[in-house]
Chains A and B, each alone.
Chain A
Amino acid sequence: MAIVPNMPRSWRVETKPHKFCPGCGHGLVLKALGEAIDELDIQDRVVFGCDIGCSLLAWDFFNVDIVQTHHGRTTPVMTGIKRARPDRICIAYMGDGGGYAIGSQHLVNAATRNEKITAILVNNCNYGMTGGQMAPTTLPEMKTETTPYGRDVEETGYPTQGPEMVAAIAREGAYTARGTVANVRQLKNYLKKALQNQLEEKGFSFVEALSGCPTNWSTNAKATWAFLEENMTKYFKVGEVKVPVKEEE
């Protein structure tokens, strides 16, 4: 008898197995997200937007309405939908290039305006889809296709710390956190809180998820997890960065 894997109810079974590389973290982020959607029972209200880059492979991932947009432009598309239909739960799903490089102005301004949407950004320290170039999140000294001798911070600056940046910009009511695919339960918890924040119309919500890219890192399973759990978490601190102040009981 075939073993049926335990999938979130909001997943679209017909499009599984998914299209991400073996060992990619996207599947785990989307599992955590699927569970969060299920637990909040918002499947019929969610509109999910995915970016260009590996995140676009999520375009048919869920049994929710999905639009795959342009590189960096998922945040404005979801903002446009939310402004026109405030009753929808809008999720903008992107990579580190989409959110911190080409679409950084959209992330910054959506946070400034406290848009009532949820942005989820998967940080794997490189541009995966295009073949492993330096991303805003590439760690110092890390080798990529465009930093073959290692990232020189004198030349290219330090990696972007997204949730910290968003927390500094966003007003009271916003939620920002950094989770990791190494702790899916915690990540799900953050995603759920982010969505809850949107449901309660408190403000912008942003979750970065640390994730592995064995294909472009050229790492085996062990080395992938070691890089994720040791190297990345030294620079990118996992935890909640900004949470709305609890109302008086």
Chain B
Amino acid sequence: MVEKAITGEKRAFMTGNEAVAWAALAAEAEIMYGYPITPQNEIMHYWTRLAPKYGRKFLQTEDEISAGFTTCGGVLAGKRAFTATAGPGNILMQEAMSMAEMLRIPTVVVVQQRGGPSTATVIYSQQETTLTCFGGNGEGLRIVYSTSSHQELFDYTIKAFQIAWKYRFPTFVLGDGYQAKMRESLYLYNPEEKGIPLAEPYPFLGQEGRPGVEREPSHLRNTYNTEEELYQIISRYVEDYERMTPEVVEYQASDFEDAEIVLIAHGIVSRAARAAVKALRSEGLKVGYFRPITLRPFPVGKLREIAPKAKKLVVAESAQGQLFKLVQEALYGETVPLEPYFKPGLGITSEELVEFIMF
């Protein structure tokens, strides 16, 4: 038995990428497949240093297409396998994740968003929201956690494995370059000691016994012959997804009971939003706060409960309306006005949100 990566609870001060590597170790991820791209590189750097000490594996592939598909292979083989990427790498990764959707392969992908479109910046943005939620030629049958701190990167990376394997949908942890590169304090812990269940992997292929003799062979395909056949499969997946939704959907909401304005943000921008709400409240303004943690599935129910009571919703994001579209869709039919605060590829501070709402 290989030594546990973490025992007890440890206070740490580290980068988000390092926190992800420790989380994958704590979640007992067995193999990482990856391709270099900034700002996720240090996830691989820490993993490659730590993994051999705990009997874990790593493969550096020829590109993100291969990183995505080898990750699918690792999961098919019955291992907690994961990869990490960003920006143009995330685009290439979508091909494999589309296969993961179709074959219900519980892959885990950590995305550290960088600027877009194209190569753009290596630094930060929230422009991979749509891509991560809906990438591929399908219906976006995936789970996307948008984290806002190092503690959350650690918590949700562990959770991503468990949820992916439980529901068998590809699962993403959506961070960004700020979270990736900044240092912050957090607690590292062993999830089992806290009663947090670990993923229970099993092989989809390569089980014991002679196929066709001692057991049925596994024959997995993503190609179907007729429209009806495909429709039946997708309908069943959608049903599974909708049944799962109330069990996995997560959000943060505060100060909304009497709020005239509700500030909506996700990921690291939600920290600025929360600070802004606090500042505005101290000025006597009735401002509330809503943050979807799962962008897929989106916390539609809670938002629809909060929104009609407000006079206005402000959506702040480091993209040109990618979260805004999700909010709009969730609130279809409601008449409460939505006001955008879009800064594609740019960080957002609490001060500017305070100013925007006050004036």
Contacts and interface: CB of A to CB of B under 8 A. Distances in A.
Interface string A61-100: 0111111111001001111111111001000000000000
Interface string B209-234: 11111100111111100000000000
Nearest to B68: A76
A161 to B, nearest CB: 21
Interface residues of B, number: 44
A67 to B, nearest CB: 4
Nearest to A68: B221
B221 A59 contact: yes
B63 interface: yes
A70 B105 CA distance: 14
B59 interface: yes
A124 interface: no
A143 interface: no
B120 interface: no
Interface in A43-62: 43-45, 47, 52, 56, 59-60, 62
Contacts of A78: 73
A109 interface: yes
A81 B95 contact: no
Given A63-B212, A109-B61, A73 B95 contact: yes
A85 B209 contact: no
Contact of B66 (A63, A64, A76): A76
B73 A60 contact: no
B31 interface: yes
Interface in B131-159: none
A239 B30 CA distance: 40
Given A70-B95, A81-B76, A76 B57 contact: no
Contact of A68 (B30, B217, B222): B222
Interface of B: 30-31, 33, 57, 59, 61-63, 65-66, 69-74, 76-79, 81, 95-96, 99, 103, 203-214, 217-223
25 contacts: A12-B217, A45-B206, A47-B77, A47-B205, A59-B219, A64-B211, A65-B206, A66-B217, A66-B220, A73-B95, A76-B66, A76-B69, A77-B70, A78-B73, A79-B73, A80-B33, A80-B70, A80-B77, A81-B73, A81-B74, A82-B73, A84-B77, A85-B79, A88-B205, A106-B66
